[in-house]
Amino acid sequence: MLKRMLKATVFATTLALAAGTFYTPAFAEVVYNRGNSADPESLDPHKTSTVYEAHILRDLFEGLVMQDKDANLIPGAAESWTVSDDGTVYTFKLRKGAVWSDGSAVTADDFVYAFRRLEDPATGAEYASMLYVVKNGEAVNTGKVKPEELAVKAVDPETFEVTLNAPTPYFLEMLTHQSTYPVNKAAIDKLGADWIKPGNLVSNGAYTLAEFTPNDHIKLVKNPKFHDADSVKIDTVNYIPTEDRSTAIKRFEAGELDTNDDIPTEQMADLKAKFGDQLRIGPYLGTYYYSIKTDKAPWDNVELRNAISMAIDRDFLAEKVWQNSMLPGYSMVPPGIEGYTSALAKFADMSQIDREDEAKKILEKLGYTPEKPLKMEIRYNTSENHKNTAVAIQEQLKPLGVEVTLLNTDTKTHYSFLEQKGDYDVARAGWIADYKDPETFLGISRKASGNNYSNYDSPKFEELMNKAAADGGQPEARLKDLAEAERVLIDDVGQIPLLYYSYKNLVSPKIHGFEENVMDVHPTRFVSKD
Amino acid sequence: MLLYVLRRLLTAIPTMFVIVTLAFFLIRVAPGGPFNQERGLSPEIKANLEAQFGLNDPLWLQYGNYLNNLLHGNFGPSYNLPDFTVGELFAKGLPISIQLGASALILALLLGTLLGTVAALNQNKAADYSVIALATAGSTIPTFVIAPIIQLVFGLSWKLLPVGGWGDGALLNKIGPVLTLALPQIAIVARLMRGSMIESLRSHHIRTARALGLSDWSVVVRHALRGAVLPIISFTGPAAAALLTGSIIVETIFSIPGVGRYFVDAALNRDYTLVMGTVVVIALFTIIFNLIVDIMYAVVDPRVRYD
């Protein structure tokens, strides 16, 4: 009986399992298996918002300008461009002979269509604000005027002209963002919502979309019609979502992944020992900060906010909690933007012991002691490291007479509470640069910004930010204005910057051209594999 | 019997209606919405997005529209994966989850029944104790411990299996997840089987059968097994519904593109339509498998009649 049952077991299981086939890539085809921490939300450039999409769309599409392997600006669909003397009119000369993957020409009309589509309220684009710098951009997006009123025009099929509201020195940098990439009008008109599906998607980048299985892989294949196809070394790139960081490490180790863009930071020491040079960590343009309600007693007191900020041991957070996967941060704008020097908190060069003494003095003066503590609540969204950070800060502030309570909610609840300006003391937030300019980090503290979770409201800060905008034509003066604005923000403790982000890549020795840069940008067209 | 099945299917309709209605309004009670995220959206942009998905309509209208679409077999678009409709996501993921779940279930039923029977026949002997030990271990070690161990041992050390991924459904890619899914179920089935087999072996009709001089094989397989298998059948209903609709832990750890993870991800992302889709699918599976269990009862146990 035993034998018969065993036989049946083996047979039935084999049957149930054997529904699939083995997968073997064709010989000599260069396949790059690229770990990507999350699946894209959408492959429609006008519906995306995350960096996970940015990696894929950079391979699929080519905007007017693009980034090279070091994240420097290079010509993309536009071969060259000129800017009017007043800095408001950009004229792009499109690349001659450039075509979509279906063979049709990439024309100025395609960009007119794409820019209008991004702003059209009916598209519901999350990143529509990228083109608010274009004349009528905001008016179109808020439904005040028709999309046709957007100040973009096709002078001729190879000349595309954009008129801005005011000189905007970072406009070209903004155009590297995936939301400004062109889309194919003919395909969208013909296929409607299905235009984005594999087999339908017409793109103008180095790759075309072959397969998309959510939570499994996105397969891109080399586009032979791409203008620089000859120098593209990778034939197929598989973007593999690696939500489970521990599994990603094992898959990398087993050779199933050639690179991955994140690591389980709690295993940092082991990973460093095991992977050596394959683990690449460096500064990434992002700031991890706490927003503190500047218009709510007792936090409306600058001195008190400063004492709290000063007492937080950022070195400890970076080294112990984040295992050096983050750097201690004292400014809102992280280092790494050429020509800009961040305004650091005044206490940045003091020792931690001096800072704590100073903070203690201020708190005592305001009447707070361990016996008569100040109560403070820290809200954070679910994540082991956000929790550990908050717990560490709770411990650090305790001896100074600040009694911290912690409140954890899931991400959606957290941000909807912040957005609705709920009643909180301190809340965790983070900001990653959309483009390489200090504006992206300072704009979120402006009074009108939806991301101003501190309710920071300083006429002096607003004035300097407006001055910077007005000085758009003079890049040096503008960066100086921005630095002054940041100085005001930091001295006011309008936000409490804690850490600067780092990129954390695992790169196999077989992979070349995956260069390190502050934007963590790695277009596959510049990558090669042994 | 046919009348009974029809009646059961008819009562499933109001049940589904109540489940759908409850789920629709409950998920809306959760704070935040599909478009709250780290990078806050301006009110105008958020309004554009909500208008696109009809989220700015009054709730009763949204509910009416949803029910209407559902009756036409349309689950709506996913808010957080707008390239896909909820129907497409299930069409891609459900066959994968069903394949893994069914393999695990078959493995568990066959091995579990076998082990349980062997244990019962050798009650309080070495074989019995080994099965009990195995079953206790199997049901107490969580899957999120077993899965990484399988990856480490079979994937990294012995290099017999891939660490993760679906590999377009390659046989080797399925072994790890199926084993992980099956182990706890084998343990449960073995324990259930052992208990009911011991009881069955003590019953009067077995004593009669033995007294009549029937062979051991005939007594165990033809008479004892039939009675002992009833608890396994009632266990199989809910277990099948759970296994076939995927497991978030196993799918996440092994990077399997099934539907198990949607249950949790959709709720966390406030992807209302995907949440509703998962609720409908789970409810359907549960109703169907409970019905199958009841029918099986009548088939196996002559004492059960539904007429």
The ipTM assigned to this model is 0.91
A1 vs B166, B168, B217: nearest CB: B217
| Range 280-319 of A in CB contact (< 8 A) with B | none
Does B270 contact A at CB distance below 8 Å? yes
| Residue of A144, A247, A414, A452 to mutate, testing the B interface (most B Cβ within 10 Å of its Cβ) | A247
pLDDT of residue B307: 64
pLDDT of residue A157: 96
Does A447 contact B at CB distance below 8 Å? no
Does B281 contact A at CB distance below 8 Å? no
All domains of chain B, ordered by start, with CATH? Answer: 86-300 (1.10.3720.10)
- Residue B298 pLDDT exceeds 90: no
| Range 144-163 of A in CB contact (< 8 A) with B | none
- A13/B103 CB distance under 8 A: yes
A450 vs B40, B257, B269: nearest CB: B40
- Residue B153 pLDDT exceeds 90: yes
- Residue B41 pLDDT exceeds 90: no
- Ranges of chain A with pLDDT below 70: 1-27
Q: Dihedral through CA A55, CA A60, CA A63, CA A68, nearest 10?
A: 50
Give the ranges where A225-284 is alpha helix by DSSP (H): 245-253, 268-275
Asked if A130 contacts A433 with a C-beta cutoff of 8 angstroms, the reply is no
Indicate the pTM of the whole model. Answer: 0.91
Q: State the nearest Cα–Cα gap between B107 and chain A, in angstroms.
A: 6
Question: What's the whole-number mean pLDDT along residues B262-291?
Answer: 93
Q: Output the CA angle B88-B93-B94, nearest 5 degrees.
A: 100
Which residues on chain B are in Cβ contact (under 8 Å) with A418?
A: 40
The amino acid occupying position A399 is P
A446, two tokens: 């402006």
Which residues on chain B are in Cβ contact (under 8 Å) with A430?
A: 38
Asked if A13 contacts A216 with a C-beta cutoff of 8 angstroms, the reply is no
pLDDT of residue A27: 53
- A16/B92 CB distance under 8 A: no
Secondary structure of residue B253 in the 3-state scheme: helix
The amino acid occupying position B48 is N
pLDDT of residue A25: 47
- A12/B110 CB distance under 8 A: yes
Does B93 contact A at CB distance below 8 Å? yes
Nearest Cα residue in chain A from B30: A413
Distance CA A212, CA A209 (A): 8
The amino acid occupying position B221 is V
DSSP state at residue A370: S
Which residues on chain A are in Cβ contact (under 8 Å) with B103?
A: 13, 16-17
DSSP of A392-427: HHHHHHGGGTEEEEEEEE-HHHHHHHHHTT-S-SEE
B106 vs A12, A414, A418: nearest CB: A12
Which residues on chain B are in Cβ contact (under 8 Å) with A416?
A: 31-33, 36
pLDDT of residue A17: 47
pLDDT of residue B188: 95
* Interface A-B: count of C-beta contacts within 8 A: 204
Which residues on chain B are in Cβ contact (under 8 Å) with A256?
A: 162-165
| Range 16-75 of B in CB contact (< 8 A) with A | 30-45, 48-49, 51-53
Distance CA A92, CA A20 (A): 50
- B48/A128 CB distance under 8 A: yes
Q: State the nearest Cα–Cα gap between B176 and chain A, in angstroms.
A: 11
Element (H, E) at B238: helix B230-244
Q: State the nearest Cα–Cα gap between A85 and chain B, in angstroms.
A: 32
Q: What is the 3-state secondary structure (H, E, C) of A109-167?
A: HHHHHHHHHHHCHHHCCCCHHHHCCECCHHHHHCCCCCHHHCCEEEEECCEEEEEECCC
- A216/B151 CB distance under 8 A: no
In sequence order, the β-bridge partners of residue A90 are A83, A162
Count CB neighbours of B294 within 10 A. 17
Nearest Cα residue in chain B from A381: B38
pLDDT of residue B5: 87
Question: What's the whole-number mean pLDDT along residues B206-212?
Answer: 91
Residues 6+ apart with CB under 8 A from B209: B218, B219, B223
- Helical axes B171-201 vs B143-150, angle rounded to 10°: 130
Distances (CA, A) of A77 to A103, A332, B74: 15, 34, 40
DSSP state at residue B163: S
B82 vs A47, A250, A417: nearest CB: A47
- Residue B48 pLDDT exceeds 80: yes
Q: Which of B161, B43, B166 is nearest to B97 (CA)?
A: B166
Q: Which of B115, B243, B139 is nearest to B187 (CA)?
A: B139
